[in-house]
Amino acid sequence: MIEETEKQWHKYLALGFGIICISTASILIRFAQDEVASIVISAYRLTLATLIIGVIAIFKKESIRPIFEKRNAWLILLSGTFLAVHFISWIKSLEMTSVASSVVLVTTTPLWVALLSPLILKEKITRNILVGLLIAFFGLICVSLSERCGFTDGRLACQSGSQQITLDVFRGNSLALLGALMAAGYMIIGRIMRKRVSALQYTFGVYGVAAIVVDLIAIFSEAELVGFSIRSYAWLVALAIIPQLFGHSIFNWALKYLQASVVSIAILGEPIGTIILALIFLKEAPTIIELVGACLILAGILLASITRVPVNEV
C-alpha cells in the first residue's frame, strides 16, 4: 500500500500544486466582481483558457479529432455543460453569500463523487477513502464555523446567530451547492474520458464546450462585456491562467491515474489555500479553529491518498 503511494508521489505532488492554484479563484473573483458581472467573469475565464489550450495543442501538433468521435463527443458535451453550470452558479453565489459559505458548500463535491462513483464508474470506495473523506469534512466544518466561533478565556464560544439569513443568502448557498453537484458530474465523466483521450484533448474539448455555453448566456444577458479597467482585465486573465489552466487542468490530468474520489477529495484543500493566501495578501491571520480544520483536511487527504485500488501508471 505504501509502496504504491510512493510510486504515485509525483501525481500527488501535482495535485498539491493544483490545490494551490484553485485556491486563488475566490479571491480573484471577488476582486473582479468590483466591476465585472459574474456571468462575464465565467465567460472570460473559460474562453481565455480554451484559447490558450488551443494554442498549446497547435504548438504540440496534437490532434483534437478523438474528441469528435461519436462515443466521446456526447460525453464531452455533457461534461462541458456541467462545468459551465458549475462556474455560473458558484461565481454567482459569491455575490449573494459569504466567501466562506460558498467555498465550503462548493467543496462538498467529493461527497457526491463518493456516492456516485460506485454506481457509475464501478470504482470501489475503500475504507481509507471513506474515513479520509469523513475526517476532511470535519475539518471543513471547522473552517466554516471559524467565522462565528472562537476561543474566549480558554473556552469555545459561538455567536448566537442574530444575523438574519436573507433570501439572497439562501439562494447563494443553494447555487454553491448546485456548483458542487455539477463539479461532481464533470469529474466523473473526466475519469471515463481520460481513459480514452489525452489530458490536452479532453481539457480543450470540455473548456471549449463550457466556454460556448457561458459565452452565449453572457451575450444574451444585459451585462457589459467590455470596457473594464486594466486591473479588472488583469484579474480575468489571472483567473484563466492560475485556477483554470493550471488548477483544473492538473485535476483533469490526474483523473487518468487516480480514482475520481481521490482527486475530488483533493479539492477539500482549497479552503486551506484560501486561508494561506488571505494571510499573505489580505493580512488576515487564521484562527485556531481554522488551523485545526486545515490540519484535519490535510490528514483526510493524505489518508484517502493511501489506497490499494490499482491505478494506471504513466
207 assigned to some structural domain:
yes
More confident residue, 313 or 56: 56
pLDDT value at 81 more than 70: yes
Q: Buried (b) or exposed (e) across 221-245, using 16+ Cβ within 10 A?
A: eeeeeeebeeebeebbebbbbbbbb
77-91, 124-138, 207-221 — which is least confidently predicted? 124-138
**% of the chain at pLDDT higher than 70:** 80
312 assigned to some structural domain:
no
More confident residue, 248 or 143: 248
Number of domains making up the chain: 1
Average pLDDT for 280-299: 72
pLDDT value, residue 3: 43
For residue 218, give the amino acid letter. Answer: A
74 assigned to some structural domain:
yes
Average pLDDT for 89-93: 86
Q: What is the pLDDT of residues 168-202, one digit of tens each?
A: 777 887 898 899 899 989 989 998 998 899 989 99
Question: How would you class 254 by CB atoms within 10 Å of its CB: exposed for 0-12, middle for 13-18, buried for 19 or more?
Answer: buried
Which residues form the domain of 85?
Answer: 2-305
pLDDT value, residue 311: 41
pLDDT value at 147 more than 60: no
pLDDT value, residue 312: 44
Highest-scoring range by mean pLDDT, 83-87, 119-123, 247-251: 83-87
295 assigned to some structural domain:
yes
pLDDT value at 207 more than 90: yes
48-57, 129-138, 263-272 — which is least confidently predicted? 263-272
Cite the DSSP H helix spans in 8-123: 9-22, 25-32, 38-60, 70-96, 99-106, 109-120
pLDDT value, residue 176: 84
More confident residue, 89 or 105: 89
Please report where in the chains the cell 453572457 appears, as a residue.
218
**Residues 243/21, Cβ–Cβ less than 8 Å:** yes
pLDDT value, residue 133: 78
The closest alpha carbon to 106, from 180, 175, 174, 178, belongs to 180
pLDDT value, residue 99: 67
28 assigned to some structural domain:
yes
147 assigned to some structural domain:
yes
- Rounded to an integer, what distance in angstroms lies between the CA atom of residue 274 and that of residue 30? 12
pLDDT value, residue 143: 67
The closest alpha carbon to 94, from 184, 177, 176, belongs to 176
Question: How would you class 5 by CB atoms within 10 Å of its CB: exposed for 0-12, middle for 13-18, buried for 19 or more?
Answer: middle
117 is written with which cell numbers?
462513483
276 assigned to some structural domain:
yes
pLDDT value at 310 more than 50: no
pLDDT value at 160 more than 80: no
Highest-scoring range by mean pLDDT, 131-135, 232-236, 268-272: 232-236
Phi and psi for 76 in degrees, rounded to 5?
-60, -45
pLDDT value, residue 288: 77
pLDDT value at 116 more than 90: no
Return the DSSP state at 257.
Answer: T
Highest-scoring range by mean pLDDT, 60-64, 128-132, 166-170: 60-64
238 assigned to some structural domain:
yes
